[in-house]
Structure 1
Amino acid sequence: MLEKLAFSQKQRLAYIDFCLLFKGSIYRQDLIKRFEVGLSAGSRDFNLYKELAPQNLEYDVKQKRYFQTSEFKPLFDHDAKRSLIKLANDISDGFDAIGDLHFPVEAPSSLNVPDIFIVARTVQAILNDRALEINYTSLSSGSGKREIVPHSIVDNGMRWHVRAFDRKTESFRDFVLTRISNVKLIGNYEFGEDSNSDTEWQRAISLQLVPHPNNVKFPKAIEMDYAMKNGLLTIDVRAAMAGYLLRRWNVDCTEEATLNGPEYQLWLRNRTSLMNTSNLAIAPGYENNSPAR
């Protein structure tokens, strides 16, 4: 039946499906405002969605809101990677599920794409201030159950992870989405578990990046690549994200710019800015020097 519908109506149905999958609920007014349709047209779309997937949603009369049911199965195929990118940019149109435009642009391969339902449950927890019970497989301790309170999903350039409070260690940590399985929404977050209590997430540090003084023969090229002014690029970044950025850009973090190789085109001029920042083992050359703490 979906194949016989007009493209515009399929897009509206995909939007309903997207909101139920990732947000767990949707107001009728959300659809009306998003697509600028009338009340009667919006009602017809919800009635049609219920006809196509009656087990997917239930209406709460008091809240005047449709909620995802425990038997929910997406009506459309939502691509995990494209959905993550859209969620990161606050786009929730579900358009990729019905045939998005494809441009001839290639990107370097990334690691395994997270399971769409793991992503959906994580997003629901973030949007609704909920905690998650998960099974997590780590490099240090193997597989085991954890309770986490997620507040942000992050693309570190190679893979997606979720920033969350870990009730096991009572600290904020990064959990790789592809290592998470068996996700279940549990209670609400408690005091000290929200993003406002994540000091490294809230703290911004300034990184001063310059062309590498030893590896770059023509620094002007690097200045143009990074839109530097007077040979300097200053970036404000969350302390929790600093290590990822430095690794992704292959920034030499040694005190005297001693890393050799054509991949090191940038040098961190103000290394002391990393004081009291964790997760720096992945910053090129940082752990080979005396700590800047």
Structure 2
Amino acid sequence: MAPHKHQEKHFFYIEMVGYWQVHLAINELSDTFAVSRQRGSEIFKHYREAHPDNFYQAGNRWFANSEFSCHYINKSPHQYLNWLLGNTAFSANTYRPQHPARNIDADILRDVSIALTRQQAVDIRYTAMKGKPEERLISPQTLVFAAGRWHIRAWCFMRSEYRDFVLTRITDAEIDDLKSCHDLPIDHHWQEQVDIILAPDPRLDALRQQLIADEYAMIQGRLTLSVKRAMVTYQLHEMGISFPYTALSEIEQQLVIVNKSDVEAWCF
């Protein structure tokens, strides 16, 4: 019989800790789910009844067997590391540099979010980095988190094109109930993809090039990313790739774009 949702959450935790850390402590299980130690023991008992071969007991401690069979996790290192970052119980074993939260106005975000879900327009006051405050009428399409901040991908009625608006630079917003947002043009830059082909910086010696290739699991020294055209600049920023290239050393740059002509049209 399949476990119910609460059990799946418990069993996911048990397998994540058991597989990656080998030792499982009932008190940590209990603390994680804010239950009594007795309840924590019952949860673990239910798991062992369902999967009796995964753990063995040595004294008062439980350890994962060498032939551990996963049913609720996928053994992906990325799954485990991302889980660690979001689990305060293991904060002593992990560290992530701070990324100061951007000051997003809650009322503005709510209006944008409502307009997005209802396919409505929003009157906004927006200030671009290279411009003055302007009144814009937009139709929000997608919320995007990139380059450490939230954007809204939206049709701009003033420019008659799809644009990205940084949420923190919207200083006023009001839903426009009268403006129709139906039959907008297709956002081809969002719908269509472009391949970014990356390779180790050729200025690196052979050993360092191989290190980079192995780090990204490259095939024949190449890594191909299929990216929305509208997101090319953000993708390069996320990977620390400057384009056009600046005067970075090969140690700083590490990766180069092989198909520059295919990519440069979508950089801004």
What TM-score bracket applies, with the shorter chain setting the length?
0.5 to 0.7
Match of 2:223 in 1: 233
Q: Structure 1: 5+ residue runs without aligned partners?
A: 1-7, 9-99, 282-293
Higher helix share: 2
Distance 2:164 2:154 in 1: 6
Coordinate RMSD, CA, aligned: 2.6
- Distance (whole Å) between structure 2 residues aligned to residue 119 and residue 226 of structure 1: 36
Matched, 1:162 2:149: no
Q: Could you tell me which amino acid in structure 2 is paired with residue 211 of structure 1? A: P
CA-to-partner distance for each residue in 1:42-78, whole Å, 9 max, x for gaps? xxxxxxxxxxxxxxxxxxxxxxxxxxxxxxxxxxxxx
Q: In the TM superposition, what is the alpha-carbon distance from 1:206 to its structure 2 partner?
A: 0.5
Q: Deviations over 1:62-95 (max 9, x none)?
A: xxxxxxxxxxxxxxxxxxxxxxxxxxxxxxxxxx
* 1:273 aligns with one of 256, 262, 265: 262
- Find the residue that maps to 1:262 and give its secondary structure: helix
The offset of 1:184, in angstroms, is: 1.2
Question: Among the aligned pairs, what percent are the same residue?
Answer: 27
Structure 2 letter corresponding to 1:274: V
2:122 is aligned with 1:132: yes
Change (3 A) 1:182 1:149: same
Number of matched pairs: 177
Distance 1:153 1:219, change over 3 A: same
Supply the distance in 1 between the matched residues of 2:234 and 2:193 (Cα, whole angstroms). Answer: 14
Deviation per residue, 1:130-164 (Å, 9 max, x gap)? 11111111223311221101101111132111111
Distance 1:185 1:276, change over 3 A: same
Aligned residues of 1:135 and 1:143 also touching (Cα < 8 A): yes
Per the normalisation by structure 2, the TM-score is 0.59
Shift, 1:275, TM fit: 5.7
Q: Please list every run of 5 or more consecutive structure 2 residues that lacks an aligned counterpart in the other structure.
A: 1-5, 7-85
CA contact (8 A) 2:212 2:254 kept: yes
- Does the aligned pair in 1 maintain the 2:241–2:256 contact within 8 Å? yes
Write out the 4+ residue segments of structure 1 that deviate beyond 4 Å after TM superposition.
Answer: 252-255
Quote the residue 1:189 is aligned against: 181
SS of residue in 2 equivalent to 1:207: strand
Against the structure 1 CA distance between its residues 254 and 106, is the aligned structure 2 distance closer, same or farther, given a 3 Å change threshold? closer
Contact (CA 8 Å) 1:250, 1:265: kept in 2 or not? no
Which protein has the larger Cα radius of gyration, Structure 1 or Structure 2?
Answer: 2
- Asked if 2 retains the 8 angstrom alpha-carbon contact of 1:156 and 1:244, the reply is yes
Q: Which position in structure 1 is the counterpart of 2:111?
A: 121
